[in-house]
Structure 1
Amino acid sequence: MTDSTLGTPAQLRDPNYTPALYKAVPLGIQHVLAMFVSNVTPAIIVAGAAGFGFGSNSPDFPELLYLIQMSMLFAGVATLFQTIGMGPVGARLPIVQGTSFAFIPIMIPLVAGKGVDGLAALFGGVIIGGLFHAALGTVIGKIRFALPPLVTGLVVTMIGLALVKVGIEYAAGGVPAKMSGAASYGGLQSWSAALVVIFVTLGLKFFARGMLSVSAVLVGILVGYFYCMAIGMLSFESISGSWERSAAFALPVPFKYGFEFSIAAVIGFCLMAFVSAVETVGDVSGITKGGAGREATDDEIKGATFADGFGSLIGGLFGGFPNTSFSQNVGLIAMTGVMSRHVVTIGAVFLIICGLVPKVGGVIRTIPIEVLGGGVIVMFGMVVAAGISMLSDVNWNRRNMVIFAVALSIGLGLQLEASGGGANALQHLPDTLRILGASGILPAALIAIVLNLVLPEDLASEATEEVSGGMQGHGTGSLPGK
């Protein structure tokens, strides 16, 4: 519910309005709390895939801290691009930027088991992909016809499906414990910590209101953290060790991990940029509708897409991952009714300060992997749910069912087969195509886009019995006109 003491209704709908500072600062920090866990989680997942040790005594500990630090720092920088703007860059709306989950299935195969050596190609892809993403701002209005809910819903659903395995592995004790065959993997103690996070998160989502509901995952992780301390899974020695090994202040280092041109990385990041750009268009529209009761302008959509791309490009130069607009903050604006971009600017400054203080990353790294697993199970499940929600806008006629069925079967099949170990169904392809195909997401997206463009619309009027086994779709939505 909107607090009328923050300003008049007209002021609250104005992006250029700033509430009194003593109210604007808590509102800005509220935005950070809503996205904080989601923002740093990709860095931890990629580090785990690369084989980094997570303990404070691990030689990779400084590298992990640096990746977490950059996630916070450049989420703040990219957010400033959106709220303050710079020429045509930025929507000048209260858009919160953060590390994108969408790119994780592309990043994991690039770094899997390679340690620091795999990061040069990854960040080469981030930089070139960011430049391509920014270029999409000039044509985003013209290419939206190729990305209807059928395509975007499929892609978002598959992103979530690709990530849910990670949540289960974390909740059971982490990939290192799994690979070493540790007896503790999948034990009751590990699962109890994850379940505490899940139950607390669900309880707050269903029964709390306001900020407690919006920050349910963060609060759940905090409760799980203290639970692990209580049962001995987390010691004060490990917390103090992480704190002592973390610097009080550190600046980002340009090209810290080098730059390597990898065709697989470049193609993967550029193709996923389409998905991220469409997501940003949706978020911009959601903010203007929910906060100001109007449609987004073409300049706002272009500016937001430019900011997405340049935020990712600049972050990649220093070791930051691709950024995108965060949907949970769109809901927060609708809940508070405060449209002020300056409130979000305050949150961005707070993120930048955290990114310059590695001790913040040191504290984050002490979170037990099982606790993080409970949080990401909920977050990645919500990604799947968001994809299904998009698919509810599709008119499930024969044509669309065939497109979805073929794309999902091939994409998800390749994804699952590649994760099973041993010989790979794509092992005879060149390295670039094998990495892109194994993600499953890119083949599914490409198939869906091509079929949606080439299959005639008159197929939609034909019977579906022979395709669906008698199960007729009854979606109420429809594909947008071309």
Structure 2
Amino acid sequence: MSSPPDAQTRPSRTINQNPDAMPPLSKAIPLGLQHIMAMFAGNVTPPIIIAGVIGANPAEQIFLIQVALFVAGVSTLVQTIGIGPIGARLPIVQGTSFGFLPVALPLAKAFGLPAVLGASFVAGLLQIVLGAFLKKIRHWFSPVVTGIVVLLIGITLMPVGLNYAAGGVGADDFASPGNLLLALFVLSVTIAIHQYGRGFIKASSILFGLVAGYAVAIILGKVDFTSLSNAAWFALPKPLEYGMTFSGTAIIGMTLIMFVVGLETIGNISAITTTGAGRPAKDRELSGGVMADGVATSFAAVFNTLPNTAYAQNVGLITLTGVVSRHVVTIGGLLLIAMGLFPKLGGLVAAMPPAVLGGAGVVMFGMIASAGLKIIKECELDQRNMLIIAVSLSLGIGLPAVEAISETMPGQLGLLLKSGLVPAALTALLLDAILPGKPDRRAKLAKAEAESQNR
């Protein structure tokens, strides 16, 4: 006897390789909370860092954390539920991206946060276009190009993590033994839990390290809860609180990094379908996921926070648990929205001493660099690719170390050179395009897409 016409589309109530699987709420809610635990530290760290750069007061810092949580929740729902062609409709957790920080930090210092938000808004719109035409231009971005940029993002952020571990630039007790030992404690706890933990505990090792360090800091009297007591219990996030300005320099820098972060999203979607659903990613899933990234980035700019992207740590959690239900992650997104409506939670995070955050930052930023190395490993390390890596890394690491070069450049060109990431990314793209011997990625991608459509 044949099944009803809608039997194949009705969500299942079992947890299997079907993203439409719908487990009972008794399982789905804790699983959704687990996803939030895995991404929480990474989501609130960028707004804390940007708050320090713009000299935000405690109330502004709480606000930036609040909107980061709210935006991540809404953006997650766009991915899991979808709006027309937008959204992968897969278990993707969105969050504030570290990838934009190396460019956003110098831009925020030079032009202020409104310029960063304006550039992010434009970059998000362009990413929507990128997603719509993804099939035609995907071959431009080979693993050697993507890997170099991701590696440099991690390398660029490493000094930021160490500055926080020392107590934060400008702190009276900067690099004091107390700050360094507290950061070392957080680092040690994180490593221990990551190595010996299981399941979501292992996936949330950074969060547990932060909680342990926070507790020790409270015992040592290094936490000031004044900002927490002054924070409201409930408040709706305010759009355009800082406004937007549009700088050509800022737009160029943010747009270039947006392309690379979009490729990270492609990799995360492919990892979810391959390891979780047991099949290659479909073209509509990749396109919809990248467009959702763009919508999330522009939406984040309107709500005063940095661009959003798919979180890789949650992809690892899916691999560990085998739970591929997008409805589970939808519950996680609703929990994030709820958190974003309670500024007291932001105040609790804002009171965390910089040294605690720095101990976790050493791991988080190092893992970004490690992810870049893993991507580079996908390509053949022949003389051609080694040359691309050599030139790009020399510019990406060398230019920030020799600031006199960027200072002699005319106009705002020097600002784009200052981070090193923009010239390195452009160099990698250019060399990969013009040097002879580039593998034909079009045929390989076409074959993978054909296999995906046949599933």
Give the TM-score of the pair, scaled to structure 1.
Answer: 0.87
Judge conservation of contact 1:69–1:361 (CA < 8 Å) in 2. yes
Determine the C-alpha separation between the residues in 2 that align with 1:479 and 1:172.
47
Determine the C-alpha separation between the residues in 1 that align with 2:188 and 2:407.
42
Judge conservation of contact 1:395–1:479 (CA < 8 Å) in 2. no
The question of 1:426 aligning with 2:426 is answered no
Q: Secondary structure at the match of 1:457?
A: coil
Judge conservation of contact 1:148–1:479 (CA < 8 Å) in 2. no
Hey, which bits of structure 1, 4+ residues long, moved more than 3 A? Answer: 7-11, 478-482
Q: How big is each residue's C-alpha offset from its partner over 1:218-263, in whole Å with a ceiling of 9 and x where there is no partner? A: 00111111111222322xxx22x22221111111222211121111
- Structure 2 residue corresponding to 1:328, chosen from 305, 308, 313: 313
User: Which letter maps to 2:300?
Assistant: G
The question of 1:284 aligning with 2:272 is answered no
Determine the C-alpha separation between the residues in 2 that align with 1:17 and 1:145.
33
Determine the C-alpha separation between the residues in 2 that align with 1:342 and 1:193.
39
The question of 1:69 aligning with 2:66 is answered yes
- Structure 1 residue corresponding to 2:175, chosen from 173, 186, 199: 186
- What corresponds to 1:102 in structure 2? 99
- What corresponds to 1:470 in structure 2? none
- What corresponds to 1:227 in structure 2? 216
Q: How many residues align?
A: 433
Structure 1 residues 338 and 207: alpha-carbon distance in aligned structure 2, compared to 1, 3 A threshold: same
Determine the C-alpha separation between the residues in 2 that align with 1:306 and 1:75.
15
- What corresponds to 1:166 in structure 2? 160
Q: Percent identity?
A: 45
Structure 1 residues 340 and 417: alpha-carbon distance in aligned structure 2, compared to 1, 3 A threshold: same
User: Which letter maps to 1:219?
Assistant: F
Q: How big is each residue's C-alpha offset from its partner over 1:345-380, in whole Å with a ceiling of 9 and x where there is no partner? A: 000001011111111100001111000000010000
Determine the C-alpha separation between the residues in 2 that align with 1:195 and 1:171.
8
Q: Report the CA distance between 1:479 and its aligned residue.
A: 8.0
The question of 1:297 aligning with 2:277 is answered no
- What corresponds to 1:475 in structure 2? none
- What corresponds to 2:453 in structure 1? none
1:127-166 matches, cutoff 5 A: 127-166=121-160
Judge conservation of contact 2:14–2:21 (CA < 8 Å) in 1. no
- Structure 1 residue corresponding to 2:328, chosen from 340, 343, 347: 343
- What corresponds to 2:448 in structure 1? none
Structure 1 residues 247 and 430: alpha-carbon distance in aligned structure 2, compared to 1, 3 A threshold: farther
1:195-206 matches, cutoff 5 A: 195-206=184-195
- What is the RMSD of the two structures over their aligned residues, measured on CA atoms? 1.7
Q: Report the CA distance between 1:449 and its aligned residue.
A: 0.7
Mark the runs of 5 or more structure 1 residues left unpaired by the alignment: 1-6, 53-59, 419-423, 459-477
Determine the C-alpha separation between the residues in 1 that align with 2:291 and 2:97.
16
Q: How big is each residue's C-alpha offset from its partner over 1:412-434, in whole Å with a ceiling of 9 and x where there is no partner? A: 1112223xxxxx31223344322
* Larger displacement relative to structure 2 (341-350 or 256-265): 256-265
Determine the C-alpha separation between the residues in 2 that align with 1:223 and 1:11.
33
- What corresponds to 1:259 in structure 2? 244
The question of 1:25 aligning with 2:29 is answered yes
Determine the C-alpha separation between the residues in 1 that align with 2:189 and 2:15.
36
Judge conservation of contact 2:164–2:357 (CA < 8 Å) in 1. yes
The question of 1:435 aligning with 2:386 is answered no
Judge conservation of contact 1:204–1:216 (CA < 8 Å) in 2. yes
- Structure 2 residue corresponding to 1:454, chosen from 430, 434, 437: 434
Judge conservation of contact 1:150–1:479 (CA < 8 Å) in 2. no
Structure 1 residues 479 and 205: alpha-carbon distance in aligned structure 2, compared to 1, 3 A threshold: farther
Q: Secondary structure at the match of 1:442?
A: helix
Give the TM-score of the pair, scaled to structure 2.
Answer: 0.92
